[in-house]
Amino acid sequence: TKDWNGIEQVVLRSPQGASARVSLHGGQVISWRNDRGEELLFTSSKAILKSPKAMRGGISICFPQFANCGSTELHGFARNRIWAIEDNPPPLPPNNNPTGKSFIDLLLKPTEEDLKCWPHGFEFRLRVCLASDGNLVLISRIRNINGKPFSFSFAYHTHLSVSDISEVRIEGLETLDYLDNLCQRKRFTEQGDAITFESEVDRVYVRSPQCVAVLDHEKKRTYVMRKQGLPDTVVWNPWEKKSKTMTDFGDEEYKQMVCVDGAAIEKNISLKPGEEWTGSIELVAVPSSFCTDE
Ligand code: BG6
């Protein structure tokens, strides 16, 4: 199918009726529904669906940088480019190769313009996979096809749909250090039992466990995010004041979303010529809560 800019979208379906919709604009996952047809990702009613900006919501790819501490646009250019469908990508590593599932392979290479602000040749392969049980898996592979090393930061900027942010708890990040984006990335240590929300939160939890759970009491739903190759976890909710400054976000919508991003931010990933990096997340939405770390 196509969106109203004529940009192609791909719909993945599971045999039980779950679905995921992926836009070639940014390689962004713009919808993920369970087998009851319930939407699991947040999309703003004010989202701007026009190129070149990423749509507010879903899962967007932040690369080659998270935030705006480098030379490219905010959260990098990957989410603002048109990706290509790749029919026969090189095989995935065996430990990261979900088979027998509904998936799409996308490819991004830098344009001449991209190379002016970030002069590094790369191939970025993204597989978006909907498992038969409805789980959503995103696998990114970034290869250095340059003669020189380069480094980057990365995040799967994931907007989860929740019923009421005041009732949400995040488990798995207790006692960890975090960099607070609201205080020039100053380092603090998490003191609480679980993360709850009563004001703006914008943090990078460093060296976080592979598995984090987001409990939505009102909906009686738990999201579990498992990550590989991604040391950090971002937690973001803009709360009331910041929401009002965002043109593509409703004033009250902060209540219905939380961003939990599998990420590599504290330390850049470095790739030598010819080297490849893999980073993946798996998202599960379950009616009850459980989460075990490996
Ligand atoms: C979060 C960042 O992940 O994304 C925030 O930690 C940022 O600092 C937010 O404001 C939204 O970014 P964007 O570019 O999608 O508006």
Question: What residues contact residue 267 under an 8 Å CB cut-off, 6+ apart?
Answer: 231
Kindly report the pTM of this predicted structure.
Answer: 0.95
Q: Give the percent of the chain with pLDDT over 90.
A: 83
Give the residue carrying structure tokens 């993204």.
Answer: 126
Average pLDDT over residues 220-246: 97
Residue 157, ligand 1, Cβ within 6 A? yes
Ligand 1 pocket test, pick from 236, 245, 249, 261 with the greatest ligand atom count within 8 Å of Cβ, gives: 236
d(CA 189, CA 178): 6
CA-proximal residue: ligand 1, atom 3 (nearest): 236
User: Residue range 95-99: average pLDDT?
Assistant: 65
**Distance in angstroms (rounded) separating the CA atoms of residues 32 and 38:** 8
- Asked whether residue 288 carries a pLDDT value surpassing 80, the answer given is no
Looking at the DSSP bridge assignments, the partners of residue 202 are: 236
Residue 216: CB within 6 Å of ligand 1?
Answer: no
Residue 263 corresponds to which tokens in the numbers above?
Answer: 């990420």
Say yes or no: CB of residue 104 within 6 Å of ligand 1: no
Atom of ligand 1 nearest to the CA of 74: 14
pLDDT tops 60 at residue 178: yes
Share of the chain above pLDDT 70, in %: 94
pLDDT at 94: 74
Q: Is the pLDDT confidence value at 159 over 60?
A: yes
Mean of pLDDT values over 17-23: 97
Read off the pLDDT of each residue in 108-125 and give the average, rounded to a whole number: 95
- Separation of CA 67 and ligand 1 centre (Å): 7
What is the Cα–Cα distance from 159 to 259, expressed in whole angstroms?
4
Q: Which residue has the tokens 């940014």?
A: 26
Q: With left for phi above 0 and alpha for psi between -120 and 50, is residue 60 left, alpha or beta? A: beta
Question: Which pLDDT value is given to residue 293?
Answer: 46
Pocket of ligand 1 contains residue 257 by CB under 6 Å: no
Whose C-alpha lies nearest to ligand 1, atom 6? Answer: 202
With 60 as the cut, is the pLDDT of residue 7 above it?
yes
Nearest CA residue ID for atom 5, ligand 1: 202
**What is the reported pLDDT for 1?**
83
185 lines ligand 1 (CB under 6 A): no
Instruction: Note the pLDDT of residue 5.
Output: 73
Ligand 1 close to Cβ of residue 237 (< 6 A): no
CATH 3.30.70.20 is held by the domain 9-286: no
Interval 4-15 mean pLDDT: 88
Give the pLDDT mean for 55-83. 88
Q: Is 59 in the pocket of ligand 1 (CB under 6 A)?
A: no
